[in-house]
């Protein structure tokens, strides 16, 4: 039996993939991964592999996409497919560590201030007046807290260079990009699609970096369509 492992991103939790989980649980086992305890992408990947058994299809959002790719590198015999949403594959960029440390320091001073500063650029600008959306995401960030935030930021600073092994990932890959994602733009997903042997790209309109939360119906429909086409509904 193949399990769908759902991995959230930075200071995120199961609400990111909840709409997909609600639909997929009627078709296959679902594992909501917890990657809040490790300070490395490889450690997160190992923890999800250890918490599951058998074949996996892995869906990762943002940082979770990097964890998903690392899982496929570590255990290619177990990974049947990847869904990579609003993510990237490049190693640390020049000057990135300074900016990331500033966010760590802000989180330890006030997670409320961090949420208020970090979340708006993550969204489609048209959704910034959506009080319910912002409230749900802000509550999620506050649930994570400063220690989880720091661990995950340090994991991102020292992330593997997934571009170095992308061509070796033989499993089918669905890339989910968003029209208004300024953090992980469409071109970045196209680079992954061009490098991987078996990848396809879908672009979600009217969404930013949190596409699975901003446009859950559209993201879920795209993933279900891919699952049905590539795996026949996943019953085995």
Q: Which two tokens stand for residue 39?
A: 């300070």
Host H or E run for residue 61: strand 56-61
Q: In this structure, are residues 126 and 197 in contact, taking their beta carbons and an 8 Å threshold?
A: no
Lookup result for tokens 């991987």:
196
Q: End-to-end CA distance of the chain: give it in Å, rounded.
A: 4
DSSP letter string over 37-58?
S-SSHHHHHHHHHHT--S-EEE
Question: Which CATH number applies to 3-92+156-231?
Answer: 3.40.50.1820
Q: Is the pTM of this model over 0.85?
A: yes
List the domain boundaries for the chain.
3-92+156-231
CA distance 162 to 178: 21
Residue 152: name the closest of 19, 32, 33 by CA: 33
**Helix 41-50 vs helix 63-74: crossing angle, to nearest 10:** 70
In this structure, what is the dihedral angle of CA atoms 62, 199, 196, 78, given to the nearest 10 degrees?
Answer: 80
One digit per residue, the tens of pLDDT, for the chain of length 236 reads 899 999 999 999 999 999 999 999 988 999 999 999 999 999 999 999 999 999 999 999 999 999 999 999 999 999 999 999 999 999 888 889 999 999 999 999 999 999 999 999 999 999 999 999 999 999 999 999 999 999 999 999 999 999 999 999 999 999 999 999 999 999 999 999 999 999 999 999 999 999 999 999 999 999 999 999 999 866 54
Contact 59, 223 (CB under 8 A): yes
């Amino acid at each position: 039996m193949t399990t769908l492992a759902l991995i959230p991103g930075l200071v995120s939790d199961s609400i990111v993939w909840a709409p997909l989980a609600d639909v997929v649980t009627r078709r296959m086992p679902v594992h909501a991964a917890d990657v809040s305890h490790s300070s490395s992408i490889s450690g997160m990947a190992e923890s999800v592999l250890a918490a599951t058994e058998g074949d996996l299809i892995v869906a990762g959002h943002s940082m979770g996409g990097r964890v998903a790719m690392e899982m496929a590198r570590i255990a290619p015999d177990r990974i049947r497919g990847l869904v990579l949403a609003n993510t990237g594959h490049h190693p640390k960029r020049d000057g990135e560590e300074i900016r990331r440390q500033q966010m760590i320091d802000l989180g330890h001073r006030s997670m409320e201030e961090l949420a208020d500063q970090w979340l708006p650029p993550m969204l489609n600008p048209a959704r910034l007046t959506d009080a319910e959306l912002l409230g749900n995401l802000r509550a999620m960030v506050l649930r994570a807290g400063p220690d989880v935030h720091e661990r995950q930021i340090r994991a991102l600073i020292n992330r593997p260079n997934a571009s170095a092994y992308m061509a070796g990932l033989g499993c089918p890959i669905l890339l989910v990009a968003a029209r208004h994602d300024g953090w992980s733009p469409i071109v970045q997903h196209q680079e992954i699609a061009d490098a991987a042997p078996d990848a396809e790209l879908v672009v979600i309109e009217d969404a930013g970096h949190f596409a699975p939360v901003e446009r859950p119906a559209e993201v879920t429909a795209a993933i279900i369509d891919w699952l049905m086409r590539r795996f026949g509904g996943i019953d085995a």
